[in-house]
Amino acid sequence: MDVFVGRITSTGFSTGDRIVIGDWRESPLGSFTNIMWAKPDGSRVLLSPSEMHAEYVSELYNFEDVRVTEITVERGKRGISINGGGLDIKIGWGIALPIPFWRPLWFIASFEALFSRILFGTRTHGITKNGRREWYSVRSLSRILKAEASFEGEDLGMKRDFEIDACFGFSEPPSIPASVTLKSYIE
């Protein structure tokens, strides 16, 4: 079982771009940050800090373009700034709604899956592209308060709910811009 501990931050933009940042402080691959970017034309891009990370992640999820690039990250108490692959992203979130304990995987795959689908339009359990089972065990949820992003200097517009699925894998990010702390279990 591979366990990733960290934060996933996601938001849409008025241009139709959708950004998902995986900021993992502990994982079988070490500490790393990657960016999943769904463009308005539907193409999906993975920006990854190394070939090893890119290979692992692209075996789990769907991308038309995988780029290995330097990614610089600045973390704040309630925000993150990232620069990599031509993208410049700054996101800030509000106070976290905590979930005080970790739940067993069977609970995540059943009861929690139902509530997350109804409340946030997302799934907490499913099968990856390469046939592995994955669970998302969320520990806290924060609403995105501000987000700005540009690609090669061109502004991606205002923060917006996900109106179109990003289609990276079995689960979508929450439809509302959010940042969650979690463990991802991959079997």
pLDDT at 73: 98
**CB neighbour list of residue 148: distance below 8 Å, 6 or more residues apart:** 89, 90, 91, 155, 156, 159
Q: For residue range 4-18, list pLDDT tens digits in order.
A: 999 999 999 999 999
What are the helix (H) ranges across 29-175? 51-60, 105-107, 113-120
Model pTM score:
0.94
> What pLDDT is attached to residue 151?
96
Q: Model confidence over 127-168: pLDDT tens digits? A: 999 999 999 999 999 999 999 999 999 999 999 887 767 788
Quick one: tokens of 81? Answer: 């700034």
pLDDT number for residue 34? 97
Domain-wise residue ranges, the chain: 2-186
What is the rounded distance in angstroms from the CA atom of residue 182 to the CA atom of residue 184?
6
Q: Give the chain's mean pLDDT.
A: 94
Radius of gyration of the chain (CA): 15
